[in-house]
Amino acid sequence: MNYSQLLKFAAPETIVVLTALAVLAVDLTSLRGLEPRLRFIIGGMLACVGCAAAAVWMIVMPEQANAFGGMLVVDPLTQLVKVALLGLTVFTILISIESNFTQHVGEYLALILLATVGMMFLVSAEDLLMVFVSLEMTSLSLYILTAFNKRNIKSAEAALKYFLFGGMSAAFLLFGLSLIYGLSGATNLGGIAAALQGRKLDPLLVVALVMVVIGFGFKVAAVPFHLWAPDAYEGAPTPSAAFIASGSKVASFFIFAKVMIIGFAGATGSGAFGYYESGWVPMIAIVAVLSMVLGNLGAIVQGNVKRLLAYSAIAHGGYALLGMLANSQQGVAALVYYVITYGMTTLGAFGVVAVVEQATGDSKLSDLSGLCRRAPVVSVCMLVFMLSLAGIPPLAGFFGKFYVFLAAAAAVKNLGLLWLVVFAIAMSAVSLYYYLQVMKRIYISDPPAGAPRMRVAWLTQATLAVLAVSVVLLGCFPGWLVGLIERALASLAP
Amino acid sequence: MLAWTIYISFLGVLVLMLLPKGNASSARKVAMLSAVTGLLVALAGFFQFKAGELVTVAKLPWVPSLGIEYHLAADGISLTLVLLTGLAAVGGILFSWNIEHRAKEFFAFYLALIGGVYGVFLSFDLFLLFVFYEIAIVPKYFIIAIWGSTRKEYGAMKLALYSFIGSAMVLVGLIAAYVVSGARTFNVVELAKYPFPHDFQMWAFPLVFVGFAILAGLWPFHTWAPTGHVAAPTAASMLLAGVVMKLGAYGCLRVAMTIFPQGLENWQLGVLGLHSWRDVIALLSIIGIVYGALVALVQKDFKFVIGYSSVSHMGFVLLGLMTLNTIGLSGAVLQMFSHGIIAGLLFAVVGRMVYERTHTRELSVLEGMNLGKAMPFAAVTFVIAGAASMGLPGFSGFVAELQVLIGAWQTYPTFAVLAGVGIVVGVAYTLRAMQKAFFGESVGPSAPLGAKAAKLAGSEPGAPFATISVPERLGAVMLIGVAVLIGLYPRLLLDVILPSFDSPLFDWLRKGGAP
């Protein structure tokens, strides 16, 4: 394989990197004197065009390649996830454009794009080295994005917490990965699986597994590695939080599942009711159960919408893990559908919070009071997002949950994993309570006396509306995305 | 064509959302137009229907890789309930003609609820049925929490959570059924054919049945019903009692009892004289009948009387289902229809005619108002509706409850006797409420508003009540007409309902539950 071929396979990533540099350069050289809003519009449009170009490139020129033994894997599935990631990035940029938390527009947009590049490489990686490098590339960009509001001390605090926890978990992950290399003598996932085949679950492998789960558990904010999430979401500038909750979740879940399902194919174990067998499945089953319980119960008592969304993200992480636990093709399809639609929904919810924050200065639940009369369009969008998160049909969140639950129930003979499904469904009944609390604020509480109608920029309104309509359409016609994912998966099967 | 009942309702929601703000009169006209068209479509479907057939309305692949279909169809049972939904929808709008506060949103939520209900009754794909079932939950919450009265937020949240927990149980059962059958289909006819393992049915049946029965007001999961009914605005109480509770009962019959019929078989051992889930549910419905009636007898709030009477009447539906003989089952379906009409009428009198004029529902306060003279129309309507509710011959309630009792007599003679007791108590609480509310001791020569009530209403003592408006009269006449029509000529519905039980869907049930 020569470099020109490599460049061809990595073209989308290259386009995004070049866009990031271009945005930075244009902002530094020619936009300096302008007001931030204008710089945001010009830079943001440039960034969106770059992302769109990369996405179009992948759609028009589908490739299938495996460069350097899994360093860069390009196939229909990774391309589909990458297109989804680019879409989420575009929406993140669109909801950032009207924000006013920073003067460093070029740097902010470039960091978002670089984080996206990290995620794209992450999705394409089937080699431990590449996984770690791209994971760090994403994380470092996200730490800085969290700290980006220099005027707010909470933002710095959040970033520091995020960074310290993140650094620690990266150390765990690296330790785990090095143990795996020691055990198997390979860094690529297929090689690891082959080397570990038939090996008993010895203590060293257990330690390695636990370390890896800790490392990835942090990235997907699963209990008990979730402690950073509520603080980071609350303190970070809202668009950054939206990006952490959407794009980064999609990429992390995808690679987490890939490493576990491909790399540890020989150490699966069993989580079927009454037939436990040690391996990664029972371990992650416990993590999933804890996430669902703590996420949902924690969300009930939150008074701040961003914190509430953080706890709901933890809970949703728990549901998504069920798709991974299914350890089947259908499970992966369900997981991908779930995280993509979840990413869109939560991005929209954060977008609404950003609007409210700009008008009222805070994101407490009480700041949402009477929103339906202050900003009717935004309120309808929030209704869609909240109900989708609660899993009410015909919205995307419902089908996502349904698909994941179905995959989990079908995965093991004799409904072995049904206990997890029952648990998840019970917990999602609990979740309706706090989502309805948010809706109650918006639709039932009266607005504060004398509060004027909010001025919402048409671009923000249009972005949120597009997201809301997509959530409705993906829920009403799930067959389209499911078909795409399943065809992509089928093309991978040997 | 019947599918248009659903589309028209959701189309109405869209139109209402696009209407300019603060235009209550056009909002109710749009809602009325949509509801009446829905009713006309339902009527047309009803009269075109040939007894015993299964009309496929729409059958399109929806999520092909999972075998999920957009499959709408109707048999006699669905049609009866679609017709009921149409009537209740029109009635509800007639009785909420006076809503001015956020009218546009009110009718939008109202039509969304109606659309979901139509959808449930017409779905033959269980995934689709579940989707419509859940669509109906959210509008209920908002309608009660925004436009309700007494403890509205509590009542609304309780209702939403009870419904959602019920549907969660159903979802577990559906997913399990899909996986176990391995047939990659949610088609209810296909699943009903599949011989699920006996042990599986034994736990899946109660799960799904109770999940649906929560919404049908099965004792002891009925507590959402009285609080929800009381908190809801009139139109929503009418819909809740009229059609939403039927969603639950319909689900029990259409889903739980058709795909897991062996769940009704005897256990290996008996506990306290109960030998199967069938016995347990029959016992719970009897408790519901008697308990609901007894509690209604001692209520101080007029609307709570009707709320608990709904629990009691829905007990007849569930008892009818558990008889597993054709007369009992068709009685149950007829009772769903009949109760939908009569309860709607009762709630309309209490919530709209009386409460919105007197601003109190305390029976002791109403007693002093001499409402029988002050609003004769309301009094007459209530007397007729009360008579229908008591099960007097000539009204639909009589035919339905008689059928259920005959059916029960063949299988559960003791329970049939106890249900008879429930009917007697029913007469007592209806007469008590009627007497206190409308024919109380007059405190003075025609004092429509007593001092206390006047304060509540914010008007001068002695001011006359607003006259009963035309929409109210229309609604009352329509509902009474239907109740009498079905009471005098029950074959109109029975001819449609009975042949439906001959379909292969109910093969197992028709054998009387014997293995």
* DSSP string for residues in B148-166: --TTHHHHHHHHHHHHHHH
Q: Which of B175, B181, B214, B224 is the best substitution to test chain A (most A C-beta atoms within 10 A)?
A: B175
Partners of residue B145 in chain A, C-beta under 8 Å: 440, 443-444
Q: Is the pLDDT of residue B449 over 60?
A: no
A119 touches chain B (CB under 8 A): no
Paired tokens of A254: 């995808």
Whether chain B has a CB inside 8 Å of the CB on A168: the answer is: no
Count CA atoms closer than 13 A to A359's CA, side-chain side. 21
**Bridge-partner residues for A73, per DSSP?**
A66
Residue B457 pLDDT: 53
Are β-strands A65-67 and B55-63 bridged in parallel, bridged antiparallel, or unpaired? Answer: unpaired
- Contact between chains at B168 and A425 (C-beta distance less than 8 A): yes
Question: How many C-alpha atoms does A459 have within 13 Å on its Cβ side?
Answer: 15
**How many structural domains comprise chain B?**
1
For the residues B156-180, what does the mean pLDDT come to?
Answer: 91
- How many domains does one find in chain A? 1
Give the B window 10-49 contacts with A, CB below 8 Å.
17
The answer to whether residue B510 scores a pLDDT higher than 70 is no
Put residue A481 in one of left, alpha, beta given phi > 0 → left and psi -120 to 50 → alpha.
alpha
Taking CB atoms and an 8 Å cutoff, what residues of chain A touch B109?
Answer: none
CB contact A483 to B (< 8 Å): yes
- Using a CB–CB cutoff of 8 Å, tell me whether A242 touches chain B: no
Tell me whether residues A440 and B145 touch, CB distance under 8 A: yes
Residue B461 lies in a domain: yes
Inside any domain, residue A88: no
Are B168 and A428 an interchain contact pair (Cβ–Cβ within 8 Å)?
A: yes
Q: Which structural domain range is residue A476 located in?
A: 268-494
- A153 lies within 8 A of chain B by CB: no
Task: With respect to residue B478, please indicate whether it lies within any of the assigned structural domains.
Answer: yes
Under 8 Å CB pairs connecting chains A and B tally to: 79
Tell whether B142 is within 8 A of chain A (Cβ). yes
Higher pLDDT, A448 or B316: B316
Q: What pLDDT shows up at residue A478?
A: 92
**Is the CB of A405 less than 8 angstroms away from the CB of B171?**
yes
Determine, yes or no, domain membership for B495.
yes
Is B175 in Cβ contact with A478 (below 8 Å)?
A: no
Please report, for residues A41, A87, A95, A142, B460, the alpha-carbon distance to residue A99 in angstroms, rounded to integers and kept in the order given: 11, 20, 8, 18, 55
Is there a domain that residue B133 lies in?
yes
Per-residue model confidence (pLDDT) at position B447 = 47
pLDDT, tens only, B411-434: 888 888 898 888 999 999 998 888
| Cross-chain residue pair B66–A398, CB shorter than 8 Å | no
Tens-digit pLDDT profile for residues B207-259: 999 999 999 989 889 898 888 888 888 888 888 888 899 999 999 999 998 89
- The answer to pTM > 0.90 is yes
Residue A427 lies in a domain: yes
Chain A closest CA to B182's CA: distance in Å? Answer: 9
| Predicted pLDDT at A178 | 94
In a domain, B384, yes or no: yes
Q: Which of B104, B158, B179 to mutate to test the interface with A (most CBs of A within 10 A)?
A: B179
Average pLDDT, consecutive stretches of 10 residues, N- to C-terminus, chain A (494 residues): 85 94 91 85 93 94 84 91 95 90 89 95 93 94 92 91 93 94 90 86 90 93 91 92 93 94 86 83 92 94 93 94 91 94 95 91 88 89 94 91 93 86 92 91 86 86 94 93 92 74
3-state SS, B249-302, equals: HHHHHHHHHHHCHHHHCEEEEEECCEEEHHHHHHHHHHHHHHHHHHHHHCCCEH
Nearest to B174 by CA among B208, B140, B213: B208
Helix (H, G, I), strand (E, B) or coil at B125: strand
Whether residue A443 and residue B131 make contact (CB cut-off 8 A), yes or no, is no
pLDDT at B512 over 60: no
For residue B377, tell me if it sits in a domain: yes
pLDDT reading at B50 higher than 90: no
For A370, nearest residue in chain B (alpha carbons)? B146
Contact check, Cβ <8 Å, A482/B62 = no
Q: What is the pLDDT of residues B278-313, one digit of tens each?
A: 889 999 999 999 999 999 998 888 888 988 999 999
Query: Residue B132: inside a domain, yes or no?
Result: yes
Asked if A426's CB is within 8 angstroms of B168's CB, the reply is: yes
> Shortest CA distance to A242 belongs to which of A146, A139, A156, A108?
A146
For residue A66, list its beta bridge partners: A73
Chain A residue closest in CA terms to B129: A393
- A425 to chain B, minimum CA–CA distance in Å? 6
Residue-level pLDDT at A162: 93
Domain containing B459 equals 3-510
Distance of CA A217 to the CA centre of its chain: 13
In B59-118, the residues whose Cβ lies within 8 Å of chain A are: 61-66
A410 CB near a chain B CB, below 8 Å?
A: yes
**CB-CB under 8 Å, A440 with B153:** yes
pLDDT confidence of residue B515? 39
| Assembly ipTM | 0.91
Nearest chain B residue (CA) to A477: B62
Mark which residues 367-406 of A lie under 8 Å from B by CB.
Answer: 380, 387, 392-394, 398-399, 402-403, 405-406
Distance CA B78, CA B238 (A): 20
On the question of pLDDT at B443 being above 80, the answer is: no
In the prediction, which pLDDT does B269 show?
Answer: 80
* Domain contains B515: no
HSE of A229, CA atoms in CB hemisphere, 13 A: 33
B160 touches chain A (CB under 8 A): yes
